[in-house]
Chains A and B, each alone.
Chain A
Amino acid sequence: MSPELAAALAAEEAAIYAYGLIGVQLTAGRDRAEARGAEQAHRARRDLLVSRLAEANASTAPAPAGYELPFPVTDRPSALKLAVHVEDGVAQAWRATLPVTTGADRSTGLSALTDAAVRATRWRRVAGVTPLTMPFPGRPS
């Protein structure tokens, strides 16, 4: 099993953790629903990866209890900024799996990369950030 898939798992774990913090700062119903949907999507990918890695008898490191945030998350704007940051990170992790996968695993990576790019675009719109898109989602900057 490739270290790239293990890194994708770590990114999904980090995203789940981050959405817990993001949700706390979002009070509007639409924002909260969006965050809840995103968190569920990341949990589904996490579960998929865990079973895929178990199939391959690859040991997975337990998710850390906490993460060092790139910036303090204290209000709605910083929460939305973290949501964009998290989705960009998830996109990067999944993009890195594409060259080392084929078939169903490649398709999973493509779906995950695309979903992260679409969610990042949605969060940028919610946050009023432009441009809404980046030319190469997941490409390391």
Chain B
Amino acid sequence: MSTRSHPGRFPQPQTPRPGDAPTSRRLVLAAGAGAALALAAPAGCGLFDDEPEPLPEPDPLQPILDQALALAVAHERAAATEPSLAARLAPLARDHRAHAAELARLIGTVPGSAAPGASAGPVAQTPAELRRAEQAAARTATAAARTTQPDRAGLVGSIAACRAAHAEALR
């Protein structure tokens, strides 16, 4: 009875002192990280089940390859939706397909096997939207070309230049 009547003890678990908060947050974060890892492991196993040679980390050029496929799809869809644009957009789509094939050869994946960006997010439709998408993709490729290995710099540089030229062609 004496402990229950103690004014300081009972409310403590419900209203922890400010000094206790960081400790409990750390515990929550640590638990969260563990759960995330536990979730990632089986998902990773499933993902790589069909891969002959699973890579520990995606190739730094994988995002450039994904972008090439997404841009090819965007141009092809826009051309299908608006046939009057087909003559203008078809060569651009072909350029992106050529980029994807070269990058896939370099990275060692099958082109078209991975295109997470192709279906994700809003797809550019009008020439103005496609132009903005090309500009953004050119910036990404230029950034990658700045730091990539010497034997990859030429290809990635050409891809960046081609995307910038596409933006010009879409003016």
Report yes or no: B162 in contact with A117, Cβ–Cβ below 8 A. yes
A95-135 CB contacts (< 8 Å) to partner B: 95-96, 98-100, 106-107, 109-110, 113-114, 116-118, 120-122, 125, 130-135
Q: What residues of chain B have their CB less than 8 Å away from a CB belonging to chain A? A: 91-92, 94-95, 98-99, 102, 138, 142, 145-146, 150-151, 153-155, 157-162, 164-169
Bound-state Cα–Cα, A110 to B155, Å: 11
Q: With contacts A106-B153, A114-B142, A131-B91 known, is A95 near B164, CB below 8 A?
A: no
In angstroms, how far is the closest chain B Cβ from the Cβ of A43? 21
Residues of B within 8 A of A117 (CB): 161-162, 164-165
Report yes or no: A113 in contact with B158, Cβ–Cβ below 8 A. yes
Report yes or no: B161 in contact with A106, Cβ–Cβ below 8 A. no
* Interchain residue pairs with CB less than 8 A apart (21): A95-B161, A96-B154, A98-B150, A98-B157, A100-B150, A110-B157, A113-B158, A114-B161, A117-B162, A117-B164, A117-B165, A118-B164, A118-B165, A125-B169, A133-B166, A135-B95, A135-B98, A136-B159, A136-B162, A137-B161, A137-B165
Report yes or no: B169 in contact with A109, Cβ–Cβ below 8 A. no
Bound-state Cα–Cα, A139 to B157, Å: 10
Q: Please report whether the interface of chain A is mostly helix, strand, loop or mixed according to DSSP.
A: helix
Choice from B138, B153, B166 contacting A98 with Cβ under 8 Å: B153
Bound-state Cα–Cα, A131 to B95, Å: 10
Residues of B within 8 A of A23 (CB): none
In angstroms, how far is the closest chain A Cβ from the Cβ of B60? 15
Query: Does A89 make an interface contact (CB < 8 A)?
Result: no
Residues of B within 8 A of A95 (CB): 154, 157-158, 161
Report yes or no: A114 in contact with B160, Cβ–Cβ below 8 A. yes
Report yes or no: A138 in contact with B161, Cβ–Cβ below 8 A. yes
Q: With contacts A110-B157, A135-B99 known, is A120 near B165, CB below 8 A?
A: yes
Report yes or no: A136 in contact with B155, Cβ–Cβ below 8 A. yes
Residues of A within 8 A of B94 (CB): 135
Q: With contacts A120-B165, A130-B91, A133-B95 known, is A138 near B158, CB below 8 A?
A: yes
